[in-house]
Amino acid sequence: MNLPSHTPLPRLGVNIDHVATVRNARGGEHPDPVEAALLAVRSGADGVTLHLREDRRHIRDADVQRMVTALTAPINLEMAATQEMVAIALRHTPHACCIVPERRAEVTTEGGLDVLGLSATLPQQVRTLADAGIRVSLFIDPEPAQIIASAEAGAAVVELHTGAYAEGRDGELARLAEGAVLAASLGLEVHAGHGLTFDNVRPIAALADVAELNIGHFLIGQAIFDGLPAVITRMKAEIAAARV
């Protein structure tokens, strides 16, 4: 894809949740997601994403506290649209909060947030977080109605869920491309993530309106073979190659 030379590359946010998954398997302190976050930033990550799930299956409250103390790079805290999570975010004031849907029984985040369905409560939560200086993002499917509702809810950012694209669903890349254009036209910053790998990242990184990619499970898994610095370097190269 040929873009003007001034078009900035999408930033890479590294999601370190699954370092905590491995740690929690034995109940101790190793491997430490904060140490992984610091290494990710030293290795070229533009920011760090962590998802404090309601069931605390990977990231825990103490990790959030330690992360905001240790990191100077932007932190993107993913969380459910609950009063408990809003209160936690207000205590730590990360650079950004990405509000995601959660179902306790799910293995991973299965779909986007139903911004339309949450219209009675979400705009107030967005306002409360934004008033505290937090950049608010909504993790949504690339549905025009959800994108428009996100803008109306006062979000600064939408993160488009790339899970269906990563699974190879027909037409999903076109839906993401159209969604990114619509979101940008409404003044929303566009992020994308979920299920991205070396093999599927380029078409998403090539979308001119995508400003940030959040990638976790693949990078942490691949780091077992290649090391975290090497996989971050390679992912940044894939992103850059998509914009040549």
Ligand X SMILES: CC(=O)[C@@H](O)[C@H](O)COP(=O)(O)O
Ligand Y SMILES: NCC(=O)COP(=O)(O)O
Residues lying near ligand Y in the complex (CB under 6 A):
15, 49, 159, 193-196, 214-218
Site string for ligand X, 36-75 (x = CB under 6 A): ---------------x-x----------------------
**CA 40 to the chain's CA centroid:** 15
Distances (CA, A) of 225 to 24, 35, 179, 230: 21, 18, 35, 10
Task: Confirm or deny that 128 is annotated as ligand binding.
Answer: no
Mark residue 191 as left, alpha or beta (left: phi above 0; alpha: psi -120 to 50; beta: remaining). Answer: beta
Question: Does the annotation count 194 as an active-site position?
Answer: yes
Question: Does the annotation count 78 as an active-site position?
Answer: yes
Q: Are 43 and 72 in contact (CB under 8 A)?
A: no
Distances (CA, A) of 62 to 34, 120, 208, 226: 10, 31, 37, 29
Q: Which is closer to ligand X, CB of 161 or CB of 243?
A: 161
Q: Collapse the DSSP code of 138 into the 3-class scheme (helix H, G, I; strand E, B; otherwise coil) and give the result.
A: strand
Q: Which is closer to ligand Y, CB of 151 or CB of 196?
A: 196
Question: Does the annotation count 167 as an active-site position?
Answer: no
Minimum Å distance from CB 217 to ligand Y?
3
What is the rounded radius of gyration, in angstroms, for the C-alpha atoms of the chain?
17
Site string for ligand X, 180-219 (x = CB under 6 A): -------------xx---------------------xx--
Minimum Å distance from CB 178 to ligand Y?
20
Binding ligand X by CB under 6 A: which of 43, 109, 150, 200?
A: 109
With DSSP H G I counted as helix, E B as strand and the rest as coil, what are the percentages for the chain, rounded to 5? 45, 15, 40
Residue 17 interacts with ligand X (CB under 6 A)?
A: yes
Q: Over 46-90, what HEC string results? A: CEEEEECCCCCCCCCHHHHHHHHHHCCCCEEEEECCCHHHHHHHH
Minimum Å distance from CB 5 to ligand Y?
29
Among ligand Y, ligand X, none, the one that 195 touches (CB under a kind-dependent 5 to 8 A) is: ligand Y
Active site residues: 51, 78, 194
Detail the residues annotated as belonging to a binding site for 1-deoxy-D-xylulose 5-phosphate.
Answer: 17-18, 53, 58, 108
